[in-house]
Amino acid sequence: MTLDKLAQMVASGFEGIEQRFENIEQRFQNVEQKMATKEDLRRLEQKISRLDLRVEEVHDIVTVLETGSIFDLQKRVKVLEKNVRAFGR
């Protein structure tokens, strides 16, 4: 084996490694592009916080409506009970 042949073998080996490193670097760039930044996470936290407030508001409204409906129904039942007693006499 000559030194030239050995040099060619080593050079071709490095060419393959260089291509593999380029592929790995490209894959890392793709992963980095898909990763969320700190700013993205901060925005998500803000959105979640706003959604949490909205859910609480809806819960409060539903609670008031349910309570109001129950009181209305109780009043209507009392009126009906009075009418039934009045007809029963």
Instruction: Read off the pLDDT of residues 58-81 as tens digits, 9 standing for 90 and up.
Output: 998 888 887 877 888 888 899 899
pLDDT of residue 17: 83
Given this model, what pLDDT does residue 10 score?
81
- Fill in the DSSP letter of residue 35: S
Q: For 8-36, how does the pLDDT look when each residue is reduced to its tens digit (9 = 90+)?
A: 888 887 777 888 889 999 999 999 888 99
Give the predicted TM-score (pTM) of the model: 0.47
> How distant is the alpha carbon of residue 57 from its chain centre?
20
Q: Which residues contact 36 (CB under 8 A, 6 or more apart)?
A: 44
Integer Cα distance of 23 and 26 in angstroms: 5
Location of structure tokens 């760039």: 29
